[in-house]
Amino acid sequence: MKLFSQWAALSGSFLQLFSGQEQQQQQQNTEPAVDLPFLEHWGHYAAATYQRFENWQGCTACQLADIQQTRLNATWSTMFPAAFSRGYVGVNREHKEIVVAFRGSTHIMDALSDIQLFQSPWPLDISGSLVHSGFLQAYLAARPHVFRSLDTLLLASDDPELKDYTLCFTGHSLGGAQATLAYLDYMMHADQQMLSRNMPKLITFGAPRVGNKYFAKAINGARNFSNVDSLALRVVHEMDLVPRLPRSAYPGQYAHSDREIWARDTTDEESMDLVQCQTFSDSSAHDDGYLEDRNCSAGTNPLLWNVVPDHMVYPGMRLGIPKY
């Protein structure tokens, strides 16, 4: 628990960013190619959360060649309906990566309708930032498991190689919302040296909006603050309704962070076209709320938005029909 307390201290570089001080940009690492195989790989990890991943060898989704070698370092399953969280921290030595994966809920529409208006201030260090209270409760239930595991892997481990593994937060649907919270939490609390070694990534699939525009701005800023090649992506499949929720009661109440990758169906069932959506890095220009790229999913006809089938199919993922 001694190490765990290190996460309580904000890293200096993060505070600098939010106090408006200039950060030197020294991009040392180049972004990985965001292509379909790249997204499918992380989609496989996210899909595994829907199965009994605790027994990795016995879980069919876990046996895909690219993730088969993963060893679980932590799992959690919190069953309180208001704080449902299930997921794992896995280490894949073959690919030199550490993955933190969160499962979605089968009651997605409940979670997005009834309690959508309740928001809680989080993270407290970012003034004005508010997030969906239900998503936050779920994430906070998982948080001790996640950080204790990352502590043992990245700080306490006598295996220094782990410190250079890529770290990725991922999840589908509400799991993507929790991954988003975990990513910001990590970016705020890990020290600069750790960040520049793991190059943290956030890759979500069909995730709803998580917080308000100040939260979205913090996610976008986290990418910048540490001379780190951090990559935050939201994959939206075709006409998936879930990323369009919760709807804002007033502008900016719920906003998406950058950067959307719009995965469009092709006539080939096994393939998708990826549209790299525009990023609006100057958020001050969008005081009425974060503007999403109208040439991407935000510009589609609401009458065509659906949960089945478009929420259920993502790169690397074909999920069953959810229960409502």
Ligand X SMILES: *[C@@H]1O[C@H](CO)[C@@H](O)[C@H](O)[C@H]1NC(C)=O
Residues that bind ligand X (CB under 6 A): 25, 73, 152-153, 157, 159, 220-221, 224, 278, 281-282, 293-295
DSSP string, 109-164: HHHHHTTTT-EEE-STTSTT-EEEHHHHHHHHHHHHHHHHHHIIIIII-S-GGGGG
> Residue with structure tokens 């106090």?
19
Q: Which is nearer to ligand X, 294 or 318 (CB)?
A: 294
Looking at beta carbons only, is 111 or 150 nearer to ligand X? Answer: 150
Nearest to ligand X of 72, 140 (CB atom): 72
Both structure tokens of 284: 């001050």
**In whole angstroms, what is the distance from residue 134 CA to residue 109 CA?**
13
By beta-carbon proximity to ligand X, the closer residue of 24 and 267 is 24
- Least separation in angstroms between residue 78's CB and ligand X is 18
Closest separation in Å from C-beta 196 to ligand X: 16
What minimum distance in Å lies between the beta carbon of 112 and ligand X?
Answer: 26
Distances (CA, A) of 167 to 95, 98, 120, 324: 11, 5, 27, 33
Beta strands 166-172 and 97-102 are parallel
Q: Which is nearer to ligand X, 113 or 281 (CB)?
A: 281
In the complex, least distance from residue 156 CB atom to ligand X, rounded to whole angstroms: 7
Q: Report, in Å, the least distance between residue 270 CB and ligand X.
A: 28
Q: How far does Cα 186 stand from its chain's mean position?
A: 11
Closer residue to ligand X (CB): 271 or 281: 281
Question: What is the Cα 253 distance to its own chain's centre?
Answer: 19
Q: Please state the closest distance from residue 55 (CB atom) to ligand X, in A.
A: 14
Q: In what order do the strands lie in the sheet containing 166-172?
A: 71-78, 85-92, 97-102, 166-172, 201-205, 231-237, 260-265, 272-276
